[in-house]
Structure 1
């Protein structure tokens, strides 16, 4: 009978024992909820009565609902505006604050401060600032002779208002990450550009931007995912209004799940959101990963 080498067996099992707690947490808080959500999407259930299997009727109802397509449009509009403005503004700020001086360090701390504040607190601050009668923004407009704006009550400005909140919170984080990437670029590249009498704009697009492209790739992807999951500001500031102009897919899921108690329909919406994030991530990697320069 072959003798068992317990020492060797222990060394083989040790890696699996170490990752077991993480795998349990992954299953309980990610895989199981995801599978259960897909399961619920095929049922009609109000959290009280019995679950009734209805197949793909939730999906058919969803795709046939005109409000759903308005929500999809709002979701993409919010994503494109918030990510585009935040990344562009972060690039400009990073280019301006990249030098390691005392004043720049203070300014970096100031613009990063909103990132550590909760969305709930930020939403209440901006609710006051957007107030049509005595808000700070309308006060500034009156000072320069412009009429006040009903920021959150107007379908033309409500989405822009939410984008402003999102950009204000996230731009500091993006800026510091970009500054860190810029400071790691070898200085001899900029010295060579100066010897060639390259302009600042040309140097930025030919040297700086390619060298920080891995960082930009990461930041854009993270910002896309964060924008698709934005909920707190919508819940506290607009409730998806006015006239559904700020209702995004995440809020739509919440509304049907915890306001209308249509759990099956809300689960189907959650499946669509999960697929949307997955497809956008895959497309993003397929299209832009080849444009990234890894030195």
Structure 2
């Protein structure tokens, strides 16, 4: 009887380890395929059809995409979305970085304060929309009631086209600032204390230390926060739907609300899928641009 050689034994061990690894990855892979890749593929396929949900889908090829470029409603909602993103992303990033710097201290009870800052992110967006809708209420809202105490007549925050979008964007910033603070806090705590001591010995002020040492070392964290903020801002829907329903007029009709309008009010699932594909391409392009920008900055800094 032939005994297995050392090579065959190693091969079987390698195969066994490989099968074990794939078995452990299987649940995650099934989840990715079933809940991420498959829906994306289905949306792309549906975008090639004229489908009113109740009727039979009719293949139209790229006609929905041709319609997309001449749709003024899509153009307007995209501009509203860009404005929303330009408010939310800088606001959330700057506020979360300031909060992380504030709570990165070894003080008694600080961990409870950090937990309080994260609670808004854990709350349901619909519930937040209802609460903030009451806070912004022009007659009985908390904000205008406070302004009335100092003799200021508060405006109709959600009924004025110029104020509605900044108002709902402020809710987004408030909701996600604490969550993003956690990432900046982790990045700050990974920076060696010796660097701060060395810069202090060199006579660097706290502001100079922050911009010349802390901020460059936080670049990977900053990239992650910016990308997730951009994606989250482009996909915002729940709070806007509850607070304004895209109004007044169409001043807060972001692209996701326009997709909802096409799909569940006009029942044009083919065209709404086309807009969804366009949104996916836009988000992908913006994310890749951010990756390229940060990679180029890192290359210049190294050189």
TM beyond 0.5: yes
CA–CA separation in structure 1 for the residues paired with 2:142 and 2:285 = 40
Please name the residue that 1:165 is paired with: 171
2:103 to 85, 97, 103: 97
Provide the residue aligned with 1:244 in structure 2: 250
* C-alpha separation in 2, matches of 1:200 and 1:22: 44
1:40 aligned residue (24, 42, 46):
46
Deviations, residues 39-82 of structure 1 (Å, cap 9, x unaligned):
11111111111111222221222211111111111111111211
Distance (Å, rounded) in 1 between the aligned partners of 2:138 and 2:43: 41
For residues 264 and 106 of structure 1, do their structure 2 counterparts lie closer, same or farther at Cα, with a shift above 3 Å needed?
Answer: same
Instruction: Please name the residue that 1:216 is paired with.
Output: 222
Query: 1:260 Cα deviation (Å)?
Result: 0.8
Deviation readout 1:159-182 (Å, 9 max, x if unpaired): 111111101111111223212221
The DSSP-based 3-state class of the residue aligned with 1:244 is coil
Q: Give per-residue Cα distances to partners, 1:25-48, cap 9 Å, x unaligned.
A: 322222222112111111111111
TM-score computed with the length of structure 1 as normaliser: 0.92
SS at match of 2:94: helix
Report the RMSD for the aligned CA atoms in angstroms: 2.2
Which range moves more in the overlay, 41-50 or 53-62? Answer: 53-62
Cα distance change on mapping 1:12 and 1:196 into 2, 3 Å: closer
- What's the counterpart of residue 112 of structure 2? 106
**Residues 97/27 of structure 1: CA separation in 2 closer, same or farther (3 Å cut):** closer
Aligned to 2:79: 73
Counterpart check, 1:175 vs 2:191: no
Q: CA deviation at 1:135?
A: 0.3
Deviation by residue 1:205-247 (Cα, 9 ceiling, x = unmatched): 0111112221111111111111111110111111111121111
* DSSP-derived class of the 1:102 partner: coil
Matched, 1:285 2:291: yes
Q: 1:45 to 1:179 in 2, by over 3 A?
A: same
Q: How does 1:71-150 map to 2 (within 5 A)?
A: 71-150=77-156
Aligned to 1:198: 204
Residues 110-135 of structure 1, C-alpha deviation per residue, up to 9 Å, x if partnerless?
22221211111111110110111110
Quote the residue 2:67 is aligned against: 61
Shift of 1:103: 4.5
Aligned residue among 19, 23, 26 for 2:32:
26
Indicate the SS of the match to 1:60: helix
The separation in 1 between residues aligned to 2:139 and 2:233, in whole angstroms, is 30
